[in-house]
Amino acid sequence: MEYVSVRGEEVPALGLGTWNLTDDECVRAVRTALDLGYRHVDTAQDYGNEREVGHAIATSEVPREECFVTTKLWPSNYRYEDVIESIRTSLDRLGTEYVDLLLMHWPHPFVPTEETLGAMADLVDEGLVRHVGVSNFSRSRLEEARELSREPILTDQVQYHPYRDRSDLLEYCRREEVMLTAYSPLVHGGLVGDGRLAEIGARYEKTAPQVALRWLVQQEMVAAIPKATSREHLAANLDVFDFSLSDEEMAAISDPSRLRTVLGLARGRLER
């Protein structure tokens, strides 16, 4: 495993996304991921699976302190008292005394960002949250959040993959020491037939999705949280730390054609 060093925290560069994972399938996926070596698990209030994620962690052989756990506030809980109450409920569901990272899931058009971030900072003061961040924030909104937050913004979690250019946001994140966490990094399976990635992967005996994940985690200040359920796919996603892409290969992946970009956006249109 490689790590992203950000503001004194070592975050596993590759984690497990749990969007749309529920019930026993979620428990099995998280427990299997931890067994394979994952130490970074991402959930959210809106996913409806915090209890399952927590159960999987609690019943695994991995000590809680070795697992970096992220959850996200849903916008209906952005008022100060709702932030405090809903996170206490999230902690109860997760079966943990704290989360490593708490994110605002989306910007809100009416609730002041300062109010929400203020409540999140108070949770840090209480020891219930270790770090705060945001999700689905543009560069301008991220700048604003950083100005308003008493606590450093550890990450902006956004959809990022070879078909989705994030160079402007990533440049800002690197300059300001903010991690960019890439969700939907495999475009919901849309990378499997990518000829360019497959050609590069053949040089390393890797698949197109593995090349895409390597491209992400090889970038400075980037972590990725692909979702998978089967042991085979979970293991394959984790098997990206035994090779490195050349500068030319990195550049080739970063320069998709207009058709690939449109295809990627169409496949990944449901942001979460």
CA angle 39, 43, 225 (to 5 degrees): 55
Query: Quick one: tokens of 192?
Result: 């499997």
Task: List the strands of the sheet with 99-104, edge to edge.
Answer: 16-17, 40-42, 68-73, 99-104, 129-135, 153-159, 179-183, 222-224
Pairwise CA distance, residues 132 & 141, whole Å: 15
Among 38, 47, 78, 183, which one carries the catalytic annotation? 47
Q: How many residues does the chain have?
A: 272
Distance of CA 89 to the CA centre of its chain: 22
Query: Quick one: tokens of 137?
Result: 């924030």
DSSP label at 59? Answer: T
**Among this protein's residues, is 47 annotated catalytic?**
yes
3-class DSSP assignment, residue 145: helix
Pairwise CA distance, residues 102 & 53, whole Å: 15
The single-letter code of the amino acid at 60 is S
3-class DSSP assignment, residue 1: coil
Contacts of 204 (CB under 8 A, 6+ apart): 211, 243
Torsion sign over Cα 22, 14, 222, 193: negative
β-strands 68-73, 40-42 pairing = parallel
3-class DSSP assignment, residue 187: helix
The residues carrying an active-site annotation are 47
